[in-house]
A and B are shown apart, each in its own frame.
Chain A
Amino acid sequence: MKPAKKSVSFIVALLLISGTLFVEKGGAAEEAKVAFYANITAVEPIMDAFTKATGIKAEYTRISTAKFLATVFTEFEAGKLMADVIQAPLPVLEMLKAKGVISSYVSPEAATYPEGSNKDGIQQFGIEYVGLIYNKELVKPEDVPKRYQDLTDPKWKDKIVMANPASHATTICWLIGLRDNVFASEAEWMEFLKGLAANKPMFVASFGPTPAPIESGEKVIGISMPKYIVTKAPAPLDWARVQNQPLMGTPRAMGISTKAPHPEEAKKFMDYWLSKEAMGLLAKDVGEYVLTPGVFPPIEGMDQAKVISIKELSDDEIAKWGEEFKKIFAVK
């Protein structure tokens, strides 16, 4: 018994001591660095380019949208928010701002962005744009939708994939965006929703799993993100050029933490991120739609597209519309 107790105590003590050493070691190293919290694809080239340009090490912590606020608030309340710069959908940044997490720093680079893209330190720099993505080997050119309404054609029955309209926040906002920006009346919009539901789209958890079934031919068209045409090349994906209708998406924004452990480095990082050079990388490598004038993702026809930010819905509104769409789309 006694030796057993000793052994267990030894292991527990060893764990705790090693843990403390690890933490101390981390704290002792005072190198110039900046911590970036976000949920965005393949930004490592921008991180590397920033380090090369400034000598400051950039650390990227990727946190999924569902856990983003929970993580940042928990760390903030415990006085352990490690983020210097935070990037997220605009509504998330606004919730963080309301709790005092985001500072009012305005980068000099903001001057080159469209008017109204900076709200008290929250800088919008891009749009997480959504469109109709199809398999160009399986959909004949003449069949490609020319309007969103074409998606209700019965020929698409059992051939559509989309994120779950009862729960996926961006899809819910996008459907509401169609009502506000595309359809002439509520009745027309409702008819579209019912037509889309009648085509029995396959639901997946988020946008991430939407391109795979389109590529493989399990489905042929989907409500998805045009950036996959870049990131999934050479997959036979293309986007439907909807005529006289906009592409829409959630605004992407960023800001500096009020408790940034490295405030000066954070400013340099934000300045660099908003520069034409960094935004060019984001557009070219990741296919993102950015607000820097003259910079477009390398997707044919995208420089001609009208891409707009959709109205932000509150969480209560998202939940309410989620319930409505649950009924319309017969999501059990």
Chain B
Amino acid sequence: MTGKHTKLTFFLIAIVGFLTVCPVVMLVFGSLSEGLTASGDFTLAKYVAAYSDPALLEVLFNTVVFVVGASISATTLALFLAYLNIRTDIPFKFIFGVISIIPMMIPHILFSVSWVLLLNPSNGILNLLLKELFALENAPFNIYSLPGMILVEGLLDLPIAYLIIAPAMSAFDASLEESSRVCGASTGKTIFRITLPVLRPAILAAFILCVIRGLASFAVPSVIGMPGRIYVLATHLYQMVSTGFAADYGKASAVGMSVLVASIILIYLYRYLTSAGEKFVTIAGRGYKPTIIRLKRSKVPLFLILGILSFVLIVLPVIVLIYISLVPYSMVPSARAFSMMGMKHWIDVLNDPISLLSLKNSLFLGIFGATVGIFLSIFVAYVIVKVRTRSAGILESLSFLSFSFPGIVIGVGFMWFFVRTPLYATIWALLIGYIATYLPYGIRPLSSAFVQIHNHLEESSLVAGASYLTTLRRVVVPLLVPGIISGWVLMATMFFRELSLSVVLSRPGTEVLAVQILRFAEDGLWGRLSALGIMMIAVSALLVILVNYIGNKVRPMVY
């Protein structure tokens, strides 16, 4: 590679490394230190204690089933939704596009509670309905089970998979499929032999990101797994830090290290599986056309399937949240419940100065943070995909470092780091922490979009005398718009509801929405929690529509 690329790579390694390595190094120190901070005497006792726990084996088994199950569900559903939304003439595609990313906008704890109200075996609304309809003796579904956990986590991870697969799908060169059909292949055969293999980098990226997110997820294991007595790594770590008053995050970090190693292995596996980059190029110098497939007779049935799926899986839980925000306390829907409805929880939230300050701070962090984050992601993704040297591999692994750590632990790592800087207890600590942790949300969609752009395009620009930056600005970035939008939406919605870091780093004056949400959850105030959650969904949805509108000025709609 050229010297310029090498310089750029090392420069990015320095920035990304600084952002992500510092908290992880603090966690390494913490896991090897006596006492409760990261500055005690050296000891290996925490590793011995953490890994000799007899419960760990079963926890690991549950974790693998939970995480792989949820990631497969999320990726499959995302593929189905993205294919219909982007490649076909299915009606109301904009609505389906927004619905697919709604779970990204909801605080995960709230989405989980909503599913508990729908499918708990005692008086879950859907269970009661099905029992009534089919005269059943027992509830047909029990949310407090591994399949229940997989369902809800899969839905929560769906937007991640969708926002990675969608840009790749929109940059798909339909002439490849046309050639397949011309050669006599059926639609199904074309999908399995041409479409899916070409999309392999995006599908794998989506799957891997979902796996890593699933490993770090806490809301579903806590709200759904714990009552079902199903423990995964996140709840195991929670038990570890919550048994007793002096929580030992060093010991939790010791367990977290294996998650980190697993994540790095996955990233290298991904690089290996997509190493023949040329195979996945769909946009070269010879023009590409992302044509729309006409569904004809299957249009109505597919529309109905999509409509029912979207309604049951995503819209219904949101309706439940609206309902909870209007009733005075948690109650099963009935004539009495409807007669007691009112706006009390909404008024309480709107009159709460901390909730309003949180909204303001989170909006700033969402919009400004995502913009800075996506800017950095463009360069990082470029190096990861186009340079592909060993240093680029290191850069890719570095970008995942903080992201891979279970949320319950990484916040403490950042605290141990920031307390040594003047940024501690400021909003900038939150901003830098967010970008450092969620950088893969910007990098992944951009990488899968970069993979599809042939080097010839840049080379032609460079030969014609343009600089690297001009080439990036005039040639590459316009082709990346769907990836940029996806990455921005992922980052902004994530920053808007971020919990793991905020709960440790936020202080009076820098409160964010997640902190308020947690306060309401800890006090069991589900009505206010739901009202604030719906406000969050509304603001996030507005942001998504706005950024889509801007993106649409440059390129056709992604969603």
Contacts and interface: CB of A to CB of B under 8 A. Distances in A.
A74 B37 contact: yes
A71 B242 contact: no
Contacts of A95: 245-246
Contact of A167 (B238, B328, B467): B238
A109 interface: no
Contacts of A190: none
Interface string B517-529: 0110111111000
A65 B419 CA distance: 20
A8 B467 contact: no
Given A67-B503, A91-B245, A218 B239 contact: no
A19 B428 contact: yes
Contact of A78 (B379, B420, B432, B524): B420
Interface residues of B, number: 80
Interface in A69-100: 69-71, 73-75, 77-78, 80, 82, 89, 91-92, 95
Given A1-B7, A74-B37, A205 B15 contact: no
Given A1-B8, A92-B245, A219-B122, A208 B523 contact: yes
Nearest to B427: A22
Interface string A10-30: 011001001110110010000
B228 to A, nearest CB: 9
Nearest to B354: A44
Contacts, number: 201
B78 to A, nearest CB: 30
Nearest to B505: A71
A203 B428 contact: no
A164 B239 contact: yes
Contacts of A299: none
Contacts of B411: 67
A202 B122 CA distance: 11
A205 B238 contact: yes
Contacts of A330: 229
A60 interface: yes
Interface string A299-332: 0000000000000000110110010000000111
A74 B415 contact: yes
B305 interface: no
B120 interface: yes
B434 interface: no
Contacts of A5: 7-8, 11
Interface stretch (B219-227, B265-273, B450-458): B219-227
Q: Which 4 A-B pairs give the minimum distances between C-beta atoms?
A: A315-B244, A19-B428, A235-B329, A216-B330
30 contacts: A1-B469, A5-B7, A5-B11, A11-B372, A15-B372, A15-B432, A22-B426, A22-B428, A59-B509, A71-B504, A73-B36, A74-B415, A77-B39, A78-B424, A82-B507, A92-B245, A95-B246, A166-B239, A168-B243, A203-B229, A205-B226, A215-B329, A215-B330, A218-B122, A231-B524, A234-B328, A318-B244, A331-B229, A332-B229, A332-B230
Interface of A: 1, 3-5, 7-8, 11-12, 15, 18-20, 22-23, 26, 35, 41-42, 44, 59-62, 64-71, 73-75, 77-78, 80, 82, 89, 91-92, 95, 158, 164, 166-169, 172, 202-206, 208-213, 215-219, 228, 231-232, 234-235, 315-316, 318-319, 322, 330-332
